[in-house]
Amino acid sequence: MTDDLTMLDHIPLYDHHAHALYHEDLWRAAPLGGYFTEAYDPVILERFVPDTLFYRRSLRDLAELYGCEPQQGAVQAARLSRDYPELCTELFRRANIGHLLIDDGFASERLWSVAQCGERLPLPVRRVVRTETELQGLLPHHDSAASLLDALEAQLREAGKTAAGFKSIIAYRTGLDLTRPSGAELERSFQRARTAGGKLNEKPLLDAALWRTLRVAAELGLPIQFHTGYGDPDLDLRLANPLHLRSVIEAPELQELKIVLLHCYPFVREAGYLASVYGGVYLDLGLTIPYTSVAAMRTALQEALHLSPVSKLLISSDAQRTPELYWLAARWARRTIGAVMRQTALDGDLSAAEAAWASERLLWSNAAELYSAPTA
């Protein structure tokens, strides 16, 4: 049992939430430390990132990978000596990532497109559509909220013909506590958004657009991912608690909708509770793994399993920009699952055979089934 649960490399990872890779010139110019934090405060980046457990652990991992000293300069020199396309292919194969879903609503001008990822990486790649990015792009071309929302719905329906699902980052903008704005309130919000420019932060408009997205997702039989919990400083963490989504989860018209709560840290117990009592709710521990300590990764997985059915728990990389992050995420996902499942068997929660079954479910089958093409 112990050997089976510490050696999970044979199980591919269905990476259901990630972003694309840097174009090579940007990859070669980017400092190494910026990959190991969600912060963008220069003081954090320059002074404190090297003091995090994630950075120090990862530096040793990368030194092992590249056969060099565990020092930032040595690791940076070793990685930049490599052929970039070949390195991307090698690390995805080493990570044994069998399927990749990309949210391309993030930094699209700096990253490969979904099509380029599909051409250059040794695995199937599909798109996840970020609703706020679609809405932002349409905003300048419409003169009323009604026209804008109709256009958004049409665009989402078209994208949904080939996409694996939808995603919302409304937690970053105005929070997960959705309202149902009146027509007049919505129109005023639209007009403010049109004149304000910049990042779209109008709650009535964003809420209305998300309700429209949720309806489309339900009708098309596609899951929708929600960023919850930990992220960069743009979000108010208090408003990123998945418990705020109860109005969505319990909406009568959305009872067939599948909702994936991404990341969850530090609200892992809350997300596990939601998955345990609502049929359409799933949770993911990407970013929590590998960005936290080894103890925190194990604790998060254990806390998710306090209540959540094994069949509703997913693992993703949430990796972006550099191929090492996909490899690190897959490496620590398997190590964390192996350690926790071994403990569940020792505790008697699962038998040895059930622990092996659960490991495969978390790494592959749960996501593969959730994001399969609708049969209807």
pTM for this entry: 0.96
Quote the pLDDT of residue 312: 98
Q: What is the total count of domains within the chain?
A: 1
Convert the pLDDT of each residue in 30-49 to its tens digit.
999 999 999 988 999 889 99
Checking if the pLDDT of 259 tops 60, the result is: yes
Counting DSSP H helices and E strands in the chain, the numbers are: 19, 9
Quote the pLDDT of residue 373: 63
Convert the pLDDT of each residue in 316-344 to its tens digit.
999 999 999 999 999 999 999 999 999 99
- Give the pLDDT band (50/70/90) at residue 1: very low
Q: Is 164 helix (H, G, I), strand (E, B) or coil?
A: coil
Sheet of 165-168, strand order:
13-18, 97-103, 125-130, 165-168, 224-228, 259-263, 281-284, 313-314
Residues with Cβ within 8 Å of 350's Cβ and at least 6 positions away in sequence, in order, are 341, 344, 358
Packing angle between helix 323-347 and helix 294-307, nearest 10 degrees? 60
CA distance 173 to 176: 9
Quote the pLDDT of residue 234: 86
Q: Express as a percent the part of the chain with pLDDT over 70.
A: 97
Q: Give the H/E segment covering residue 53.
A: helix 53-66
Checking if the pLDDT of 375 tops 60, the result is: no
375 in a structural domain: no
Checking if the pLDDT of 231 tops 70, the result is: yes
| Range of lowest pLDDT (1-10, 260-269, 314-323) | 1-10
CA distance 149 to 207: 11
274 in a structural domain: yes
Nearest CA to 286 out of 15, 58, 92 is that of 15
Query: Angle at Cα 256 formed by Cα 254 and Cα 259, nearest 5°?
Result: 75
Quote the pLDDT of residue 233: 86
The pLDDT mean for the chain works out to: 95
Is residue 261 within 8 Å of 271, Cβ to Cβ? yes
Convert the pLDDT of each residue in 91-100 to its tens digit.
999 999 999 9
Q: Which two tokens stand for residue 300?
A: 């998060």
DSSP 266-283: T-HHHHHHHHHH-TTEEE
252 in a structural domain: yes
376 in a structural domain: no
Convert the pLDDT of each residue in 167-218 to its tens digit.
999 999 999 999 999 999 999 999 999 998 888 999 999 999 999 999 999 9
Burial of residue 60, with CB atoms counted within 10 A of its CB: 0-12 exposed, 13-18 middle, 19 or more buried: exposed
CA distance 239 to 333: 27
CA distance 80 to 27: 9
Query: Angle at Cα 108 formed by Cα 105 and Cα 111, nearest 5°?
Result: 125
Convert the pLDDT of each residue in 159-172 to its tens digit.
999 999 999 999 99
Q: Domain range spanning residue 56?
A: 2-370
171 in a structural domain: yes
- Give the pLDDT band (50/70/90) at residue 273: very high
Residues with Cβ within 8 Å of 372's Cβ and at least 6 positions away in sequence, in order, are none
Q: Would you tell me how many other CB atoms lie within 10 Å of the CB of residue 28? A: 11
- Give the pLDDT band (50/70/90) at residue 136: very high
Is residue 14 within 8 Å of 363, Cβ to Cβ? yes
Helix, strand, coil percentages, rounded to 5, for the chain: 60, 10, 30
CA distance 22 to 108: 9
Quote the pLDDT of residue 374: 54
Average pLDDT of the residues in 51-63: 97
Quote the pLDDT of residue 199: 86
The domain that holds 231 is classified in CATH as: 3.20.20.140
CA distance 102 to 113: 9
Quote the pLDDT of residue 4: 54
Q: Give 102's Cβ-side CA count (13 Å radius).
A: 26
Can you say whether the dihedral through the CA atoms of 170, 173, 175, 177 is positive or negative? negative
